[in-house]
Amino acid sequence: MNIMDYYLWIVVFHIMAVMSWMAMLFYQPRLYVYHTEHKDKKEFVEVVKIQEYKMYKYIGLPAMWATIISGVLMLYLRPDLLKGDGWMHAKIFFALLLIAYSFSLGYYRKKLENNDYSKSGNFFRAYNEVPTFLSILIVGYVITKTFSLAFTFITILFAAYLIYKVYKQKKKEE
């Protein structure tokens, strides 16, 4: 047996790692919303800080590295995936943006942990939309195995509009 016999198992591992990583990317900013909007409730914030830490360190980072390692291994085993109309290059580019986004969540987590932050709940609500649109682009390229400038442009425009609307929303009266 050679390693290519395990290629599909590597793909399965990659998909599972991506799902775990995305869970953190979708939920971590929501914790930041709770943290910033309830900063006057010390006991609540202390519990949220623990959740933020564990979600990022024990789920997000390991899943991100598992995603990266399995993705690199897949490309090593199948370099032909880099041929074609550029869909894999686009996927990699937007995956790199997800990696940067992931590290930015670590930056904000540290700021929140040290009570050294100025971002609002609305900022984190809007920021929470970023991985959704990056994942739409990535999944679109992977499923269609094509790069579409129109799809990319329309998705980015829609994302920018939605993020702006979420950021500018007024706080609901309780």
Residue 173: inside a domain, yes or no? no
pLDDT of 137 > 80? The answer is yes
Across all residues in the chain, what is the average pLDDT? Answer: 95
Q: What is the pLDDT of residues 148-158, one digit of tens each?
A: 999 999 999 99
Spatial CA neighbour of 133 closest among 154, 166, 159, 164: 159
The rounded percent of the chain whose pLDDT value lies above 70 is 98
In the structure encoding, which two tokens stand for residue 155, read together?
Answer: 């998705």
CA-to-CA dists, residue 120 to 30, 31, 33, 164, 171, angstroms: 12, 12, 7, 14, 11
Residue 125: inside a domain, yes or no? yes
pLDDT of 54 > 50? The answer is yes
- What is the average per-residue pLDDT within 93-105? 98
pLDDT of 50 > 60? The answer is yes
Give the per-residue pLDDT at 22. 98
The span from the CA of 138 to the CA of 19, in Å, is 13
pLDDT of 144 > 70? The answer is yes
The domain in which residue 93 lies consists of 3-168
Torsion of CA 131, 136, 137, 142, to 10 degrees: 120
Give the per-residue pLDDT at 20. 98
pLDDT of 173 > 80? The answer is no
Amino acid at 40: D
- What is the average per-residue pLDDT within 2-17? 92
pLDDT of 174 > 60? The answer is no
Give the per-residue pLDDT at 170. 80
Q: Which residues contact 131 (CB under 8 A, 6 or more apart)?
A: 22, 25, 26, 98, 101
91 annotated binding-site participant: yes
- What is the average per-residue pLDDT within 22-47? 96
Residue 11: inside a domain, yes or no? yes
Residue 120: inside a domain, yes or no? yes
**Residues, the chain:** 174
Spatial CA neighbour of 112 closest among 166, 162, 69, 56: 56
Question: Is the CB of residue 81 less than 8 Å from the CB of residue 138?
Answer: no
Confidence of residue 45 (pLDDT cuts 50, 70, 90): very high
Residue 149: inside a domain, yes or no? yes
- What is the average per-residue pLDDT within 129-147? 96
| Overall domain count for the chain | 1
- What is the average per-residue pLDDT within 60-82? 96
Residue 174: inside a domain, yes or no? no
14 annotated binding-site participant: yes
